[in-house]
Amino acid sequence: MKRNTAARLTCRISPLALLCVAGTLSGASLANTTAADSAKDNDSSIERISVKGHRDQTQMTEPTRELLNVAGSLHDPMAAVFSLPGVVYGGPSSGNLPAVRGSSPSDNAFLIDEMPAGYLFHLFGNSIFQENLLQDFQLDAAAFGSAYGNATGGVFRATLRDPKAGDLQGEAELSGIQAGMLVEGSVAEQQQFFVSARRSTLELFLQNGDELDDGITMYQPPKSQDYQARYLWQIDDQQKLTFTLLGAADTARINISQSSEQGRTDPETVGDASLQTHFDNQQLHYQFTGASSRWDLRYQHSQQGLKQLFGRAQFVNVQEQQHLLKLQNTLELTQDQQLQAGVEWASRDAGYAFDIIPYYCTDHQADCFEQRGDRVQDNSRLRYQTQAAFVQHLMQWSPAIHTEIGVRVDQQSRTDERYVQPRAKLSWDLNDSHQLYWQAGRYSQQADVEKILPLLGNPKLEQPRAIHYLMGHQWQLNPLWQLRTEVYRKYLQALPRAMTEQEPDVALHYSNDTQGVAEGAELLLKKQALDHDWYGWASISYSRSDRTDLRSLETKPYHLDTPLVGNLVFGMPYGDDWDLSARLTIRSGARYTPIVGQKPNPYVPGHQVAVYGELNSATLPVFHRLDMQAERHTQLFGLDARYTIAVINLLNRKNVSGYFLQQSVDGQHYDITPEEDIGIMPALGVKIMF
């Protein structure tokens, strides 16, 4: 395993996942803080459409609130998802994204208000979400409905709340990671707004010229910022118009010396390394709600940018614009039937330039160094359009039987592919306490960008596809306790495979000659929160994930294959002012390819590179971590305030995430060195409401 990913361009050429130098800039990623599960609502009744009686869209749902209050999450929903059953940490090379039920982190869709997000994590692992602006946060881990596309893994859905009416109000926050402010209120009758902005505070503790590690010098301290703004006009009882702005930016610059640990490990990374990345989204949402139907028209314009410099003056520069238009209708046909339909259109225009040493590699390869190519340069554009349409019929056949049957059609102009994807769900209420449900569907996803560019990949590469099957049982033990079990199986098809020099079509770089299977079972026991009473949940997951090379017919475990994952979460109020919480995570070690020797580096004389054994034939040590958190609600300067004290990895467990070949300081020998996650880390924060 190579520690630095900057020299390999294994991330996407898109700000969604291109945090390639984050592994160098920070060894302490807060994205690996696991958290709680908000159980998915499996109520089989059809939601009635009515102008009256809507859920308060200015308030956070209770499951989302519980999710944010878990120890170690620091009120970050993307930190919380890592304790959901079936979710594991994808690692720094994935941009800190989560992996769901045996799929790659890049197989997921991340939506904010039903529209694609930009990137999700800042350089130091904290997400772009402001906790108090969330109305709901959900994960569809498998076999999701026809309304969602461009994903073969899971769908993460964040919904921002509406601004609150009334006089101006807000809050200010300060922690060791970031500072921020939120202001909201009314500007006229039926018109409200909120504005939130946050900026990192790490640059206050780091100065230009500071040495982060032996031989690594900080020339520009990491800076991150994000913003969310919304203006809402409630035109009348039936019509609502919402304008939303979302964005984030990150910058950092370091120098890696030849004598540093990083420079000795990977000499091609020696030199300056810098990163500038940003995204800005503008959304417009018109909603009309009638007596028996609801129309939603959404438009989003996205701008994303990346400038990246790393070893030997290599660089990547990407500037991208996307336009997305969605129209959806929900029609109540009868008291027991509902029809949902929608169409989507999107265009993508990306200008890119690069000068890099490419590594034609996937995440299912023993040694990416063997896939090194000659240095290449290009300056070009990538343009294509996508269209989609879906229809879904919901039927309550009886008080106990409910079905959802739909189909989705996705097509794109790049390779003129079109996929018809049927999906279905059947739920059966055995009685007031027990429900069985079955779900299945076909799914597809756009190919990775860096694998379809002319000089770096195969422009004719097909879209990856998947078939999902899911069966579950939900048992309401009593009004407070719920037990849920699910079993799933996913067939992954047309996955990318990197060509080797021994193959006659090596010039293609990639083909679709990999397939995979992911299967498992999950159990979740949850106790609902009650006034001044404890709440919590316990989950355990068993899974297996593998990939098959269709040319060699070899089947090997996937590198994120993690057979057993357990989470135990507990929270309770203490007195009138305190909230206490704890979270324990235990999981079996992920798969990795062991280093079995070393050989001369043909590109850097005097240095060695690792020789790897059989693909994913070894297992990392068992991972476990205990987080604890205490919050006090009090007054500060006459205003309501909240103090947060958290300790991440309280037991200071040295969890190993991989191994790398490291040269000694004197350069006389090499050692296989473990790479460890963060040790014990305290965190402090204060929030003032005004």
pLDDT for res 18: 32
Q: Is the pLDDT of residue 664 over 90?
A: no
Contact 20, 308 (CB under 8 A): yes
Q: Is the pLDDT of residue 634 over 60?
A: yes
Give residue 8's pLDDT band: very low, low, confident or very high (50, 70, 90): very low
Strand partners, 565: 541, 587
Contact 118, 281 (CB under 8 A): yes
pLDDT for res 54: 53
Q: Is the dihedral of CA 60, 63, 68, 69 positive or negative?
A: positive
Please state the rounded mean pLDDT for residues 504-508. Answer: 94
Q: Is the pLDDT of residue 319 over 80?
A: yes
**Count of alpha carbons within 13 angstroms of residue 353, beta-carbon side:** 5
Give residue 125's pLDDT band: very low, low, confident or very high (50, 70, 90): confident
According to CATH, what is the number of the domain 22-689? 2.40.170.20
Give residue 10's pLDDT band: very low, low, confident or very high (50, 70, 90): very low
pLDDT for res 63: 87
pLDDT for res 202: 81
Give residue 39's pLDDT band: very low, low, confident or very high (50, 70, 90): very low
**Count of alpha carbons within 13 angstroms of residue 193, beta-carbon side:** 10
Q: Regarding predicted confidence, which is higher, 660 or 287?
A: 287
Q: Is the pLDDT of residue 53 over 60?
A: no
pTM, entire model = 0.89
Please state the rounded mean pLDDT for residues 383-393. Answer: 97
Q: Is the pLDDT of residue 187 over 60?
A: yes
Q: Name the percent of the chain lying above pLDDT 70.
A: 91
pLDDT for res 435: 98
Separation in Å, CA 645 to CA 98, 124, 534, 652, 683: 25, 19, 19, 17, 6
Closest by CA to 412, choosing from 384, 389, 390, is: 384
Q: Is the pLDDT of residue 404 over 50?
A: yes
Q: Is the pLDDT of residue 42 over 70?
A: no
pLDDT per position as a tens digit, 550-606? 999 999 999 999 999 999 999 999 988 999 999 999 999 999 999 999 999 999 888
Q: Is the pLDDT of residue 2 over 80?
A: no
pLDDT for res 119: 84
pLDDT for res 216: 84
Length of the chain, please? Answer: 690
Task: Look over the chain and give the mean of its residue pLDDT values, rounded to a whole number.
Answer: 88
Q: Is the pLDDT of residue 207 over 80?
A: no
pLDDT for res 458: 96
Give residue 21's pLDDT band: very low, low, confident or very high (50, 70, 90): very low
Least confident of 330-339, 387-396, 658-667: 658-667
Our CA dihedral for 29, 30, 34, 37, rounded to 10 degrees, sits at -130
Least confident of 72-81, 85-94, 501-510, 515-524: 85-94
Q: Is the pLDDT of residue 228 over 60?
A: yes
Boundaries of every domain in the chain? 22-689
Q: Is the pLDDT of residue 25 over 60?
A: no
Q: Is the pLDDT of residue 81 over 90?
A: no
All residues at 6 or more sequence positions from 131 whose CB lies less than 8 Å from its CB, including other chains: 68, 75, 76, 77
Q: Name the percent of the chain lying above pLDDT 90.
A: 70
pLDDT for res 27: 30
